Amino acid sequence: MPRAKVTTGVELEYETFGEASAPLIVLVMGFGQQLLSWDAELCTGLAARGFRVVRFDNRDVGLSTKLESAGLPDFAKVMAGDRSAAPYGIEEMADDVAGLIEVLGAPAHIVGVSMGGFIVQETAIRHPARVRSVTSIMSSTGERAVGRPKPGIAALLFSPAPSERGEAIDHFVEVWRAFSSPGFPFDEARLRQRLAASWDRDHDPIGVARHAAAVLSQRDRTADLGKLRMPAAVIHGADDPLITVSGGEATARAIPGASFHLIPGMGHDLPAELWPELQNVIVDTCVDTAQR
């Protein structure tokens, strides 16, 4: 896979699907997740509809740059509201995305899941000339009053994983089971395969901790989202236990003209049964851009 220098001291590992001359879609994954969490079949499905699709590892996960010198965040200070205690924020991760888009050589349609939704929103705010459209999936605005997790779910997300490979995979299976979509089958075999591949590719709990600090210290983007002037879509699961539906509703209200797609039975994951619907929304948003 290629690797791109995107900002000072940060290089991102990425993979491309589709024709190099096609309109560009950049997929941004969420907290602690590697590019493998964008299933290759989902990517090739978008590419087959006429797009150049790029998935990548955010900083501090997978094969992208690890900010090891930053060390472990001071979570007590972060939770007390000291944003400076986080080694970096969602803003810096957005700058990484903008840098990747620049390397790829064309403005991009950007699609983000969960923390990736925070990142694409911030990318559009900070770098509007590099963004053609925004699709925010199972995400929120940074406003603390919306999208709050159901009781016990956030603690499960941030619970430490075992250090042994098999036990860690078992742990993450149960975490994802709690987040999964109740309206669709839980594909444990596919999940275990992805978790094993991710573990073998990279496992760095300190890097993931820095992701957590970025999430916990994020700002409220509501006012700045109201200044966006580009096509936008918001997708949210009606049964999302981690970022509850009010987060998606608030995002759609904040972005002028954004379409809102509430999916019954969808939790905080991307079951294969929903890929055609997700692809349709993403493609429709890209087409809306072309028609403007």
Cα(203)–Cα(189) distance, integer angstroms: 20
pLDDT at residue 193, rounded to an integer:
98
Contacts of the segment 225-228: beta carbons below 8 A, 24+ positions apart: 225/121, 225/125, 225/141, 225/251, 225/254, 225/255, 226/254, 226/255, 226/256, 227/125, 228/124, 228/125, 228/128, 228/134, 228/255, 228/256
pLDDT at residue 155, rounded to an integer:
86
Query: How far is CA 25 from each of CA 100, 146, 238, rounded to the nearest angstrom?
Result: 12, 28, 26
Cα(47)–Cα(73) distance, integer angstroms: 38
Region for residue 26 given its phi and psi (left: phi exceeds 0; alpha: psi -120 to 50; beta: otherwise): beta
pLDDT at residue 287, rounded to an integer:
85
pLDDT at residue 290, rounded to an integer:
55
Cα(111)–Cα(123) distance, integer angstroms: 11
pLDDT at residue 4, rounded to an integer:
97
**Mean pLDDT in consecutive groups of 10 residues from the start of the chain, 292 residues:** 95 98 97 97 97 98 96 94 95 98 97 98 98 98 97 87 95 96 98 98 95 97 98 98 98 98 98 97 85 52
pLDDT at residue 238, rounded to an integer:
98
Domain boundaries, the chain: 3-291
CB 235 within 8 A of CB 138: yes
Residue from 135, 143, 103 nearest 119 by CA: 135
Residue 275 has, within 13 A of its CA and on its CB side, a CA count of 12
Paired sense of beta strands 52-56 and 24-28, if any: parallel
Q: Which residues contact 75 (CB under 8 A, 6 or more apart)?
A: 85, 212, 213, 216
pLDDT at residue 85, rounded to an integer:
95
The tokens describing 204, both together, are 């760095």
Q: Given CA atoms 140, 142, 147, 148 in this order, what sign does their dihedral have?
A: positive
pLDDT at residue 163, rounded to an integer:
93
Q: Does domain 3-291 have CATH number 3.40.50.1820?
A: yes
